[in-house]
């Protein structure tokens, strides 16, 4: 898809535990902030794309999630498209909005990602993740994970899916395989968590603001070996929004700091050999070609660090380093603020938080603010090109859905 879309404004809530705040209030806060940031009138919106993954399970709201949220703030009449695509729901909504604007069908579109995952009954929260696999094969998947637990791979953490998301066991298995194949160490995983905690401490909207040392990460409670608690992204509540406009509408509005969507790629996982390139590599390859840039042209990256090992694997899949050297890149400090290629200056999913449906749009918010030079204490100096990678669900050995977005000024 050739993009002719501009991000005119963004907004988001603080991510965290918002038990007393509903989807409508969270969504309204982000939408109002994005509209104000873009300097548009609500009546100028042509359509809305709303990403949400788990409201049906957690809150009971099905079918018309976007309509309910937007009507509550006076945004009726609009065509509203509800987008559910696992942890990639928000970035998929953004992709669809950009496609419609680029095709000339709309000039001004709202993108909203919103999620509530905290619930008094934790099993409801965990069920939201258990449904992001092939449920006809769920028992087989759980049995494999339980077998790993019986062998000691998940000591102290309970059975998969009971006291934690089953995805932490999937990430733990991938981490152990990476360690065995490439010699990656737990200290390198801890370096990622420590880095992102430093970044998150600089982000007023992050769920966790405490900076941790690598030693503190390693000493934290074990969740699913080798993953300690700070190596795992938390559940969370929150919302993020963006206003996407055509180039002509951006000129009409006099958008002072337009951010161009240079590439937006969405793909699904497929059956391939365990060592073969997967959805991240494919999306990155297509996005680089679409944007006419390469990994060396990137100034800042927001990647899907649902676990610390996932960030290291993303380094490799995105071409930030050769395969097998992601741990060394993390250890080198190159991905810290001030390093060669800062990754997750927001704090990433590990510290900013991971309200599933909001995550992909929150990455767009972070990159937009970075490229506009208004990221405050976590600003990457002179950032002009940013990449976001956001995926979700699991099929076989790959993500079920994957998005890579490249923004530039």
DSSP secondary structure letters along 343-370:
B-TT-HHHHT---HHHHHHHHHHHHHHH
On the question of pLDDT at 311 being above 80, the answer is yes
CA angle 355, 356, 359 (to 5 degrees): 80
- Catalytic hit among 87, 232, 283, 403: 87
Distance CA 402, CA 407 (A): 17
Could you tell me which residue, 219 or 163, shows the higher pLDDT?
219
Distance CA 158, CA 51 (A): 32
Is 87 tagged catalytic? Answer: yes
On the question of pLDDT at 136 being above 90, the answer is no
Distance CA 7, CA 37 (A): 10
Residue 48 within a domain: yes
For residue 397, the tally of other CB atoms under 10 A from its CB is 17
User: What's the mean pLDDT when you consider all of the chain?
Assistant: 93
- Catalytic hit among 18, 106, 119, 354: 354
Distance CA 51, CA 354 (A): 13
pLDDT, residue 283, reads: 98
On the question of pLDDT at 339 being above 90, the answer is yes
pLDDT, residue 271, reads: 86
182: confidence class by pLDDT, cuts 50, 70, 90? very high
pLDDT, residue 256, reads: 86
Residue 353 within a domain: no
Distance CA 92, CA 135 (A): 22
Average pLDDT over residues 259-265: 98
Residue 301 within a domain: no
pLDDT, residue 160, reads: 61
| CATH number of the domain within which 46 lies | 3.40.47.10
pLDDT, residue 299, reads: 98
pLDDT, residue 100, reads: 97
303: confidence class by pLDDT, cuts 50, 70, 90? very high
Is 232 tagged catalytic? Answer: no
For residue 174, the tally of other CB atoms under 10 A from its CB is 15
390: confidence class by pLDDT, cuts 50, 70, 90? very high
Q: Considering its fold, how many domains does the chain have in total? A: 1
Distance CA 377, CA 286 (A): 33
145: confidence class by pLDDT, cuts 50, 70, 90? confident
On the question of pLDDT at 162 being above 90, the answer is no
Average pLDDT over residues 154-166: 61
Residue 133 within a domain: no
Residue 228 within a domain: no
Average pLDDT over residues 341-361: 98
pLDDT, residue 203, reads: 98
Core vs surface per residue 180-194: b (16+ CB within 10 A) or e: eebebebebbbbbbb
- The dihedral region occupied by 407, where left means phi > 0, alpha psi between -120 and 50, and beta the remainder, is beta
- Non-local (6+) Cβ contacts of 240 within 8 A are 10, 11, 12, 13, 30, 90, 112, 113, 114, 358, 361, 362, 364, 365
Asked whether the beta carbons of 315 and 329 are under 8 A apart, the reply is yes
Average pLDDT over residues 383-390: 98
Domain range enclosing 48: 5-119+236-260
The whole-model pTM stands at: 0.95
pLDDT, residue 161, reads: 59
Residue 64 within a domain: yes
Find, among 32, 52, 28, 49, the residue nearest to 40 by Cα: 32
pLDDT, residue 149, reads: 59
On the question of pLDDT at 288 being above 80, the answer is yes
Residue 249 within a domain: yes
Residue 284 within a domain: no
pLDDT, residue 274, reads: 76
């Amino acid at each position: 898809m050739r993009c002719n879309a501009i991000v005119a404004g963004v907004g988001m809530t603080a991510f965290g535990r918002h038990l007393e705040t509903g989807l409508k209030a969270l969504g309204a806060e982000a939408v109002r902030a994005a509209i104000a940031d873009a300097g548009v009138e609500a009546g100028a919106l042509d359509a809305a794309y709303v990403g949400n993954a788990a409201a049906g399970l957690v809150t009971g709201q099905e079918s018309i999630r976007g309509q309910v949220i937007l009507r509550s703030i006076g945004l009726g009449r609009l065509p509203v498209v509800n987008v559910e695509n696992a942890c990639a729901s928000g970035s998929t909504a953004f992709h669809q909005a950009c496609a419609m604007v680029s095709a000339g069908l709309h000039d001004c579109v709202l993108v909203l990602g919103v999620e509530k995952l905290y619930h008094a009954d934790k099993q409801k929260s965990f069920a939201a993740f258990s449904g992001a696999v092939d449920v006809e094969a769920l028992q087989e998947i759980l049995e494999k994970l339980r077998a790993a637990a019986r062998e000691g791979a998940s000591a102290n953490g309970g059975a998969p899916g009971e006291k934690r998301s089953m995805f932490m066991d999937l990430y733990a298995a991938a981490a152990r395989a990476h360690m065995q194949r490439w010699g990656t160490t737990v200290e390198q995983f801890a370096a990622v968590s420590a880095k992102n905690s430093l970044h998150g401490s600089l982000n007023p909207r992050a769920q966790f603001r405490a900076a941790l040392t690598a030693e503190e990460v390693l000493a934290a409670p074990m969740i699913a070996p080798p993953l300690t608690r700070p190596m795992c992204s938390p559940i969370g509540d929150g919302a993020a929004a963006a206003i996407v406009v055509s180039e002509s509408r951006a000129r009409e509005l006099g958008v002072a700091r337009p951010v161009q969507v240079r590439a937006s790629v969405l793909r699904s996982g497929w059956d391939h050999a365990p060592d073969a390139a997967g959805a991240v590599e494919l999306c990155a390859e297509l996005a680089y070609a679409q944007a006419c840039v390469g990994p060396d042209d990137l100034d800042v990256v927001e990647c899907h660090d649902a676990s610390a090992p996932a960030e290291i694997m993303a380094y490799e899949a995105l071409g930030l380093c050769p395969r097998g050297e992601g741990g060394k890149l993390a250890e080198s400090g190159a991905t810290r603020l001030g390093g060669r290629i800062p990754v997750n200056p927001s704090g990433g999913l590990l510290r900013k938080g991971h309200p599933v449906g909001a995550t992909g749009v929150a990455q767009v918010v972070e990159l937009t603010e970075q490229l506009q030079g208004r990221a405050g204490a976590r600003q990457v100096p002179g950032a002009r090109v940013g990449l976001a990678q956001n995926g979700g669900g699991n099929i076989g050995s790959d993500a079920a859905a994957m998005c890579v977005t490249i923004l530039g000024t």
